[in-house]
Every structure is written in C-alpha cells, then in structure tokens.
Amino acid sequence: MKLNYHPETDSLYIDLSEKTSVETREISEGILLDYDVDGHLVGIDIDNASSKVQLKDLILSKLPSKVETVAA
C-alpha cells in the first residue's frame, strides 16, 4: 500500500494494489474509488485532501510489514 500526496492539486491517493484501475466511482464529493477488472478496490483518490483528512500526522499501528518513508 502506498500513500501519495500531491500538494500542487491537494490530492491524496491511497494505492491499495499494483493492479490497474479500469473503473472509478465517486462515492462522495471528491472521494473516488478505483476498481480493477475483477471489481476489486485498488485505490482511493481524495481531492481537496487537506480539508478532508488530517495530513499532519500519520500513525501506523501493528502493521505486519516494513514501513518505508520517501521524502518529498
């Protein structure tokens, strides 16, 4: 899973899978869900993210894998 914030567009993309998105559904204003060919959720796009989620803090708890940080 990858979280990518794009400050120039104030959008946050949560990449849940390496699979390609073939369908997008807007479930709420500026909240879009991406699905693969089998209908599985592969990503979440949040427009105007700074007004919808708290971007200042990210807390990861009890993840069963390594955490990698990439500087902007």
Please provide the DSSP assignment of the chain as one string: -EEEEETTTTEEEEE--SSPP-EEEEEETTEEEEE-TTS-EEEEEETTGGGTS--S-----S-SS-------
pLDDT band, very low/low/confident/very high, at 51 (cuts 50, 70, 90) = very high
Range of the domain at 37: 1-72
How many structural domains does the chain have?
A: 1
The whole-number pLDDT of residue 59 equals: 80
Checking if the pLDDT of 3 tops 80, the result is yes
